[in-house]
Amino acid sequence: MASPPDQPTPPDLTTPIDKLPGVGSKRAHALAALGLTNLGKLVAHLPMRHEFQAGEAKIAELTPGQIVSTRGDITATRPVFIGRLPRFEAVLMDGTGRLDLVWFNQNFLRDKIHPGARVRVQGELKRRGAKLQLANPRWEPLGDDEPASRRERLRPVYPASERIKSWEIEQTIAGVLDAATAQIEEHLPEPFRRERNLPTLAEAYRMMHRPESEEEVAAAHRRLAFDELLMLQLGVFLKRAHLRGSLRAPALRHSAEIDQRIRARFPFALTSAQDKVVADIVRDLTTSVPANRLIQGDVGSGKTVVALYAMLLAVASEHQAALMAPTEILAEQHHANIARALGGSKVRVALLTGAVTGPERESVLARLARGEIDIIVGTHALLTETVAFHSLAVAVIDEQHRFGVHQRATLRVKGGTALRAVSDQSRAHGSESRTTKSRATGSRAAPEPEPSTPHVLVMTATPIPRTLGITLFGDLDISTIDALPPGRTPIETRVVTPDQRADAYAFLRERLDAGEQAYIVVPTIDDGGTALRAVNPNESAPGSESHTTEYPGSESRATGNLTNVRALMKELEAGPLAGKRIAALHGRLKRQTREHVMERFRAGRIDALVATTVIEVGVDVPNATVMLVEHADRFGLAQLHQLRGRVGRGAAKSHCILIGEPATPNALERLAVLADSADGFVIAEKDLEIRGPGELFGSRQSGASPLRVADLMRDRELLAMARRDAREWIERSPALARPEERTLLRRLLKAYGETLGLGDVG
Ligand code: ADP
Ligand code: MG
């Protein structure tokens, strides 16, 4: 039925904000500035919290002894300094009566509440002789036309702005809420919802914006949080199903003989922790389901050897393998180590970084495409460049870095996509030059798709707390190298207070005098520390300063100038380390400069590096035995552990000295975890407990977390439920392609399509 032409059409969810009834252009602009450009977005703007609001009444109607809410004009104010506590008094009138307001110990209010101001106040009403009084009432300035609500209720408090107040947002939403919720499509089937006792999406939104009770707020929260988690998990499982269903990787051969030949290349026996992971990898790589495995292990646990095992397995089946490192210098280091381990064998190893140029580069690329290189080592740029492989079977990404979960997923997904493109090319290439080496498929009735993607292994030294790892990496299998190779001298870690700095540096100097080297880490580069972090908040490159952990308020506490590289360099050169060769290293230096400094340090031509966390990803310098961290209280525990991994790589005993500011709440206790434990997992769990999981998604400033309502810590149970449900769902319906899943799939792709690289799924 068409509506009569003179009747305005009711708004739908896509109706622009300025076309909504009752929204003037000023308000529309202010809402648009918050990103609320249409009705759908407006209704998706959820309150941060709810406040109990007593029904408003005139002063004359108020009953002493009750929590009351009223409004009026401030007619007089005065600060009072007699008595035990200073207090601020004000008089409120509304034409029906007079109410005395008093706030204790809040004299700053005299700058905020002036005679003539219109305010709403709420508090417990007391009779004081003939007078009515509210002590320490909640108060807020009132807009001229802000309506009074005579009913008691839970008032939503919205994220607002200078231009538009929470109550105005509330008023706008209230005006269109019913029209909006009537159109919110449900994407969960009714029985599914009922079984889990979840309200409909429309009900959930209504209950968030206009709750009848605390219970409704909780129910709405539960539904919306569950939705987010379910979507995320569905996305993860969908991706996995897609990979498994549509792509094939080369199934590699494995035998006792191959195993022996590979192991003979290592100068040591693998630890049983490494053996376990090798077994996982062998299981993966001998099938044609593309592997997607995260190999996590503490710094120094021996991940590279395990990766090399996987790569040699590819070579044994006459395929190629690639190892990608986050920096050129690390790629060079990997290349040198692998070339050394494979010296005298027939395996052809090559390096491809930005530094390999000209005819040499041409040659490497050509040989790679012809299959004359078995193992290529390069930077992550190998992923993005159009490098043609002859037959890439195993791609190892050495991350060595604390990417947030979010970034890691993106990297992996990007990696997967790029690598697929690469190997598609190689297939095209291979088919014209010579027959492909993949197994014959003739024996099967339905021909298997040809190998088109490599197995992907990601190595990381950033342990993901067990509780979260399983949940967030539904699409990644995880193997953990959970013990260090034998014969390591543990690093001695000490937490000291700033008044022991002189001793700490005296000790460090002794080590330098003995011919050893040191890292000295500070939170920022120069005095513009805060600004610095904002320089490139999205930079996820290794060593990016944006990863520096911040604790609220730590900036303002930082007195003195020892938080930054430049100032500390000066101080050390003039005093404690006078005469020593020290150099600065930080993310604002050019990459070449950085690598040059690192190279000189490795060669022993620099005694101490004064650095930011760029050194977190680093080259092995066995002679570096001291790690000193200034303002250690400003770093996350996992990050400190990672930093500490820079030392303890040689035979000599290593030391880690954490200078912590005792003024920071719990700082020393937090740091003590590091002194007590050398286990990255224990530390990561503690870190999670202390800081919450938000940061795992990457830097909070860049808004990387896809979760708006759910909180991974608080909503752990919902998370477990969402994970179980998502797995079962995708098992039943691997592509979410049923007609009744259309809304769900659309929303899923909208929410996580980009993050999870689901572009080719929908
Ligand atoms: P990470 O996990 O930090 O990448 P690496 O693979 O670089 O660790 O290994 C750290 C060091 O330990 C290397 O010098 C490596 O040769 C050595 N290593 C690895 N596995 C073993 C083992 N099973 N026994 C003895 N040394 C080992
Ligand atoms: Mg390594």
The alpha carbon of 398 and the centre of ligand 2 are apart by a number of angstroms equal to: 7
Question: Average pLDDT, stretch 300-325?
Answer: 94
* Residue-wise pLDDT tens digits, 20-31: 888 889 999 999
Least distant ligand from the CA of 326: 2
Q: Which atom of ligand 1 is nearest to the CA of 303?
A: 2
pLDDT of residue 564: 82
Pick the range with the lowest mean pLDDT from 218-232, 317-331, 503-517.
Answer: 317-331
Q: Phi then psi for 528, rounded to 5 degrees?
A: -80, 40
Q: Phi then psi for 105, rounded to 5 degrees?
A: 60, 30
Alpha helical stretches, state H, 165-263: 166-181, 190-195, 201-209, 214-246, 256-263
The alpha carbon of 325 and the centre of ligand 2 are apart by a number of angstroms equal to: 9
Res. 567 pLDDT band, cuts 50 70 90:
confident
Q: Is the CB of 303 under 6 A from ligand 1?
A: yes
Q: How far is CA 614 from the centre of its chain?
A: 18
Out of 304, 460, 480, 491, give the residue to mutate to test ligand 1, the one with the largest number of ligand atoms within 8 Å of its CB: 304
Q: Is the CB of 758 under 6 A from ligand 1?
A: no
- Environment class of residue 213 by beta-carbon count within 10 Å: exposed (0-12), middle (13-18) or buried (19+)? exposed
Q: Is the CB of 301 under 6 A from ligand 1?
A: yes
Least distant ligand from the CA of 307: 1
Per CATH, the number for 491-677 is 3.40.50.300
Q: Where in the chain is the domain with CATH 2.40.50.140?
A: 55-151
Q: Positive or negative, the Cα torsion across 711, 707, 683, 557?
A: negative
User: How far apart are alpha carbons 642 and 645 in whole angstroms?
Assistant: 5
The alpha carbon of 742 and the centre of ligand 1 are apart by a number of angstroms equal to: 49
Residue nearest atom 20 in ligand 1 by C-alpha distance: 302
Q: Where in the chain is the domain with CATH 3.40.50.300?
A: 249-481, 491-677
Question: Average pLDDT, stretch 458-470?
Answer: 64
pLDDT at 631 over 70: yes
Tell if the pTM clears 0.95, that is, is over it.
no
206 closest CA partner among 188, 219, 189: 219
pLDDT of residue 703: 38
Q: Which atom of ligand 1 is nearest to the CA of 305?
A: 6
Q: What is the 3-state secondary structure (H, E, C) of 127-193?
A: EECCEEEEECCEEEECCCCCCCCCCCEEEEECCCCCCCCHHHHHHHHHHHHHHHHCCCCCCCCHHHH
pLDDT at 553 over 90: no
Residue nearest atom 16 in ligand 1 by C-alpha distance: 302
Q: Could you tell me the CATH superfamily of domain 55-151? A: Nucleic acid-binding proteins (2.40.50.140)
The alpha carbon of 283 and the centre of ligand 1 are apart by a number of angstroms equal to: 22
Least distant ligand from the CA of 323: 2
Pick the range with the lowest mean pLDDT from 114-123, 489-498, 613-622.
Answer: 613-622
Least distant ligand from the CA of 482: 1
Question: Average pLDDT, stretch 458-483?
Answer: 68
pLDDT at 331 over 90: no
- Packing angle of the helix pair 256-263, 303-316 (nearest 10 deg): 130
Domain 249-481 coded CATH 3.30.530.20: no
Q: Is the CB of 323 under 6 A from ligand 1?
A: no
Question: Average pLDDT, stretch 129-158?
Answer: 86
pLDDT of residue 292: 82
The alpha carbon of 300 and the centre of ligand 2 are apart by a number of angstroms equal to: 7
C-alpha angle 171/174/175, rounded to 5°?
A: 90
